[in-house]
Structure 1
Amino acid sequence: MQRLSGLDASFLYIETPSNHMHVGMLWVLKRPPAGDTPYFDRVRKLVEGRLHLSKTYRRRLLPVPFDIDHPLWLEDPDFDLDFHLRHIAVPPPGDAPKLLELVARLHSRALDRSRPLWEMYVIEGLEDGQVAVYIKIHHCCIDGMAGTELMVSLLDFSAEPREVPPPDKPWTPERAPTDVEVLLRASVNGVVQPMRMLRRLPKVIGAGIAFGRRALARSEPMPTAPFQAPKTPFNRALTPHRRYAVGAVPLDRIKAVKNALGATVNDIILGMCAGALRRYLELHNELPDKPLLAVCPVSVRKEDDKSGANNAVSAMFVSLATDIADPLARVTAIQASTGQAKEAHKALPATNLQDWSVFAAPLVAAQAARLYSRYKVADLHRPPYNVIISNVPGPPFALYLAGAELLHSYPISLPIEGIGLNITIMSYRDEVAIGLTADREAVPDIDLLMSLMPQALDEIEAALKKKAA
C-alpha cells in the first residue's frame, strides 16, 4: 500500500458533486479493415495485456477512518476490467456535435471511488468510417505529463500492435486491511507527519521571504498575482454539468508566428486564447476594462523521474492583456507577463506547491470544499483568476490503437469552482488540438468560443502581414 501525497490527495478533497476532478482524452480514429474480431474486442485484448504497465489501472483508494490521514492506494482485490472498459454508440446521425454532446455527458459524471479511478469508452456509430475512444482518469492519479505517458502506453507506432512482455511476476491483488490496521498505520504517520511538516516549514517560509526580498529589489513590474482578475460570465459557482468543444490549428502556423515575433509557442497559444476570449466577451458586451488573468499549470517533473502516476505540477499566473485591442501589442504584453511569471517561478522552489500541500488537513479541506460549493461562495467574491490554460506537448508522429490510426487527439479537462472554463491545448502530429471544457451554464455557447480560436490566430497573422507591408 502507498499513501497519497498531499498534492495528489488535495484533488480528492476539493471534489464535490458539482466540482469533478477528472481529466481525459478524446481520440478519433480511422476504423481498421474489418476482420474476424470486432474492434471493441481488439481494444479489450490490448488493454488487458497492458494493465501491468501502470499501477493506475488496478489500484483503488482506501480511505482512512474518520479522515484523519490521506487515503492509501490498494491493489484492488475486486478489480474487474469490464467495469472500466465500456462499449457504446453515438446517436444518429453520428456527426461531431452528437459525439461531443455524448462526451460532455460522460464527463459530467463523477468516477466511482470504490473502484480504480478511470474509465474508457469505445464509441461506435460515427460517420465517415471512424470510431472514437474517450478516456477519463482522476486528477489525483496523474498530471498532464503523466497522463500523456500513461495513455501513450496503450498506443503503438504502427497498425500492428507491438509485443508487450508479460510482467515478471503474475499480478496478485493486495489483501484489504481492516480499519484497525489502517488506523494504526495512520497513527504512525500522525507522529511522522508533524515532524515532516516542521522540517518543511522553514523551507516554505524562507522561500516566501526570499521571493519578497527579490521582488522588492526588482526595478521591473511585479509578476501577475492571483485575485487581481476581473469578474466575467464564466467566473461563477459550478453546476454538475459540462459542455465540450474541440478544434485545431496547424502547428506550422503557430511556429511561423512564433519565429516572426521572437516568442515561444506557448506565448502564441496564449495570444490566440486571449484574442478569442476578448472577442467572445465583446460579443456579449461583457469585456472588462482590466485584463483577464490565466493560470497555467507547469510541470516540475524531472527528466529522470519515472514514477509516472502522480502529480508534479506548479502554476504560473499570466495576464492575457485582453484590454489591448491590437493583436501584436497584446502578444507582446503576454510575452512580458510570461517572462515575469517565469522569473517568479524560478525564485520559488519547483516543489513549492507540493510543500504547501503537506499542510492540508483531510477532514477540514474536504468539509471546506463542500461548504464552498453548496453555498455557491464563488459567486460572492472576486475570482483568483479567470481561466485555466494548459499547453501539453504531444507526439509529432502517427500513433495507432489496436490497429486503428489515431487521426485526432483532443484533451478534455476540468473547470473548478469559480473558474467555469478550462482551455487545454495538446499538439499531435502536425496540428495543435484545442479542447474547451466548461460548466454548462457558464459558457452556454461554447461552439462560438471555439470558432473564435482560429480567427484569433488569423488576426495575429494579418497584423504581421500588415506590419511587414
Structure 2
Amino acid sequence: MPLMPITDSMFLMVESREHPMHVGGLQLFRKPEDAGPDYLSEIRRRLLDRSEVRRAFRRRPARPVNTMGYAAWAEDVELELDYHFRHSALPQPGRIRELLELTGRWHSTLLDRHRPLWEVHLVEGLRDDRFAMYSKVHHALMDGVSALRQMQATLSESPDERDSPPPWGGPAATKGVRRSRRDPVSLLTGARQSLSQLAKLPGAAVKVATEAFREHSLTLPTQAPKTMLNVPIGGARRFAAQSWSLDRVRQVATAAGVSRNDVVLAMCSGALRDYLIEQRALPDTAMVAMVPVSMRKPVETGASSGNAVGALLCNLATDRSDPAERLKLIHQSMRNAKRIFKDLTPVQALILSGINVAPLGASTIPGFVNNTRPPFNLVISNVPGPRKTMYWNGAQLDGVYPASVLLDGQALNITLTSNGDNLDFGITGCRRSVPHLQRILTHLDTALAELESAVA
C-alpha cells in the first residue's frame, strides 16, 4: 500500500460537491473512410479485452485514517474496465452544442472514491459522422499536463495504425506491479540540494520585493479587482470549446514582435472585456490572470532539475479599449514577470509562485471570497499538445479541448492546447455564476480579428 504524498491528499481533502477536483478533456475524431456501423463498438470491445493498465489507473484512495483525510493509495486488483470506459450516444440532432452540454454535465459530477478515480466516455451520434471521447481523472492522480501527455501516448502518426493503446494504457502500462528502488545516497543528495535552494530563498524574495515596490513593474496578488467571476461557486459546470488557426496567431505575434502566448493572452483579454461589457460588469481597473509557465532550466542537474511550473501574474489591460495597447501592456507584464524568475532555480520559483496563489488556500473559509479581493481573476493556461496530425485507431484527431478545475472565487478557467495547425480552447465555467458562457467564444474570435487589424 503506497503512501500518499501530501499534495495528493490535499486534492482529496479540499474536494466537495461544489468543487470537483478532476481535470478532463474532450477529443474530437473523424472516422476513417472504411469505418462501418459498428466501428466504435468494435473499438470498445477490443480495448476492454486488453488487460494492460497503468498503475495510476488502478489506484483508489485507501480508507481514511481519520477525519482529516487519506494517507495511502490502495490498488484495485479487480478493476471493472466496463464501468470506467463507457459508450454513449448524443441526443438528436447531434450537434456540437449537444456534445458540449453533455460534457458540462459529466464534468460536474464527482468521481467515485471506492473505485480508481477516472472515467472515459466514448461518444457517437454527431451528425457529421465524427465521434468524441471525454475523459476525466482526479487531480490527486494526474495534473492536466500529465493527462494530456497520457492521451498523446495513445496516438499514432499513421492512419493505418488500428491497434492504438487504450486511454488507460500506453507505453507505461504493465500487467503486474513493479516496485522501483531509489538509492539512499541519491535521496540524501537531493535533500541537501533542496535545502541549499531554500537557503537562497530570502535573497530571491528581496529581489521580488525590490522589483515590485521600487520599479513598479511586477503584477501582485493585491492588484486584481473584484469581478463577477470572483464569487463562491456551485458544483454545476458549463463547457465551451473552439479552435483557431495557429498561423493567424503566429502572424500577429511576428508583426507585433511578441510571443504567441502574449497574443493568446490578448485574445482572452479582449474577449473578457467584451463579455463583461455585455454583462455590465467590466471593472474600472485591469483584470489579472494567473498564467502557469514552465520554469525548467536547460542545464540544471540534481533535485531541482526536471519539469517545473511557476505561477506568474499577468496584467490583462482590460481597462484599455485599444487592442494594440492591450497587447503591448500584456507583453510588458509577462516579460517583467519572467525576468524575475530567470535566475531562480525551480525550487525557488515554485515557492515564490506560491505567494501568488496562497490566498486560494483560504477560499473555503466562510465569507472569505465575498469579503476579500481575489489574488487574480482567472487562470489562463497554454499547454503544449500534438504538433502533427495524429490518429487513434485510424480516426483523425480533429480537436483537443481541455476542461479544468474551478475553485471558490475562480468561476472561469481558459485552457488551450496546440493541435497540429490549430489552437484548441476549452473554457470551463460555473453554470450559476457565468451566464452565456458560449458568448466568450464569439468574443475570442472578434478579439483575434481586432489584433490582426491592429498590427496590419
Please indicate the TM-score interval, normalised by the length of the shorter structure. Answer: 0.7 to 0.9
Match of 1:337 among 314, 333, 337: 333
412, 428, 433: which is aligned to 1:437? 428
Shift of 1:417: 1.2
Contact 1:387 1:422 in 2 (8 A): yes
CA offset digits 1:7-46 (Å, max 9, x no partner):
3433223222101111111111112333485413314534
Q: Which stretch shifts more, 440-449 or 160-169?
A: 160-169
Conserved in 2, the CA contact under 8 Å of 1:295 and 1:318?
yes
Listed one character per residue, the Cα deviations across residues 32-72 of structure 1 (whole Å, up to 9, x for unaligned) are 333485413314534764844x3322222225512678632
**1:407 aligns to what SS in structure 2?**
strand
Report the equivalent of 2:183.
Answer: none
CA deviation digits over 1:189-246, x for unaligned, max 9? xxxxxxx999967854741443224542786434111132111111111100001111
Spell out, residue by residue over 1:289-311, the C-alpha distance to the aligned partner (whole angstroms, 9 max, x if none): 11101001234568899xxxx99
Unpaired runs of at least 5, structure 2: 179-189
More off after superposition, 242-251 vs 147-156:
147-156
Change in 2 beyond 3 A, CA 1:354/1:40: farther
* Cα separation, partners in 2 of 1:392 and 1:346, compared to 1, 3 Å: same
Q: Does the CA contact (< 8 Å) of 2:211 and 2:217 recur in 1? A: no
Residues 18 and 373 of structure 1 are in contact (CA less than 8 Å); yes or no, is this contact kept in structure 2?
A: no
1:255-274 paired onto structure 2 within 5 Å: 255-274=250-269
- Whether the 8 Å CA contact 1:319–1:337 is kept in 2: the answer is yes
Shift of 1:412: 1.2
CA pair 118-128 structure 1, distance change in 2 beyond 3 A: same
Change (3 A) 1:434 1:155: same
Cα RMSD for the two superposed structures: 3.5
Matches within 5 A, 1:277-426: 277-300=272-295, 312-352=308-348, 372-373=363-364, 375=366, 377-426=368-417
Cα pair distance change 1:287/1:14, threshold 3 Å:
same
SS across alignment from 2:220: coil
Q: Which residue of structure 1 aligns with residue 236 of structure 2? A: 241
- Which amino acid in structure 2 is aligned with residue 394 of structure 1? G
CA–CA distance in 1 between the matches of 2:315 and 2:116? 38
Please say if 1:459 is aligned against 2:446: no
Aligned to 1:161: 162
Q: Tell me: CA distance 1:124–1:259, structure 2 relative to 1, closer, same or farther (3 Å).
A: same
Residue identity opposite 2:82 in structure 1: D
Amino acid at match of 1:40: S
In structure 2, the CA distance between the partners of 1:288 and 1:170, relative to structure 1 (3 Å rule), is closer
Match of 1:124 in 2: 124
User: Which SS does the other structure have where 2:448 is aligned?
Assistant: helix
1:134 partner amino acid:
Y
1:313 deviates by 3.2
Tell me which moved more, 160-169 or 32-41: 160-169
Alignment of 1:140-159 (within 5 A): 140-159=140-159
| Structure 1 range deviating more: 407-416 or 96-105 | 407-416
Aligned partner of 1:78: which letter? E
Distance 1:169 1:412, change over 3 A: closer
Provide the C-alpha distance between the structure 1 equivalents of 2:137 and 2:318, rounded to a whole number of angstroms.
33
SS of the aligned residue for 1:66 comes to coil
Q: Could you tell me how far 1:347 is from its partner in structure 2?
A: 4.8
Does the 8 Å CA contact 1:211/1:348 hold for their aligned counterparts? no
Residue in structure 1 matched with residue 270 of structure 2 by the alignment: 275
Q: Which moved more, 1:397-406 or 1:205-214?
A: 205-214
Residue in 2 that maps onto 1:79: 79
Describe the SS at the equivalent of 2:162.
coil
2: CA distance between counterparts of 1:61 and 1:153? 25
Distance 1:376 1:78 in 2: 44
Assess if the C-alpha contact under 8 Å between 2:155 and 2:164 holds in 1.
Answer: no
Taking a change above 3 Å as real, the CA distance of residues 356 and 8 of structure 1, as seen in their structure-2 partners, is farther
2:204 to 197, 201, 210: 210
Q: Secondary structure at the match of 1:123?
A: strand
Tell me which amino acid in the other structure corresponds to 2:252: V
CA distance in 2, matches of 1:330, 1:252: 21
C-alpha distance in structure 1 between counterparts of 2:170 and 2:128, whole Å? 36
Of structures 1 and 2, the one with the larger relative CO (CA 8 A, separation 6+) is 1
Indicate whether 1:139 and 2:139 are aligned.
Answer: yes
Deviates more, 1:444-453 or 1:347-356: 347-356
Residues 29/376 of structure 1: CA separation in 2 closer, same or farther (3 Å cut): farther
Change (3 A) 1:166 1:327: closer
Same amino acid, percent of matched pairs: 36
Structure 2 Cα separation of the partners of residues 2 and 357 of structure 1: 29
Change (3 A) 1:380 1:407: same
Compare 238-247 and 371-380 and name the one that shifted more.
371-380
Partner of 2:184: none
The reply to whether residue 450 of structure 1 matches residue 441 of structure 2 is: yes
Q: Deviations over 1:78-127 (max 9, x none)?
A: 32111210111111111111110000000000111222221100011111
Q: In the aligned structure 2, how far is the partner of 1:449 from the partner of 1:95?
A: 19
Aligned residue for 1:351, secondary structure, equals helix
Contact 2:267 2:444 in 1 (8 A): yes
Describe the superposition over 1:134-172 as per-residue Cα deviations: whole angstroms up to 9, x where unpaired: 011112222333222111122222232357799999624
1:19 aligned partner:
19
- Taking a change above 3 Å as real, the CA distance of residues 213 and 152 of structure 1, as seen in their structure-2 partners, is closer
Distance 1:55 1:283, change over 3 A: same
- Matched-pair contact (CA < 8 Å) for 1:427–1:433: yes
Summarize the Cα distance change of 1:72–1:302 in structure 2 as closer, same or farther, 3 Å threshold: farther
Structure 2 CA distance for aligned equivalents of residues 335 and 342 of structure 1: 11
Aligned residues: 432
Letter in 1 for 2:204: A
What amino acid is the match of 1:332? Answer: K
Q: For residues 223 and 169 of structure 1, what CA distance do their matches in structure 2 show?
A: 44
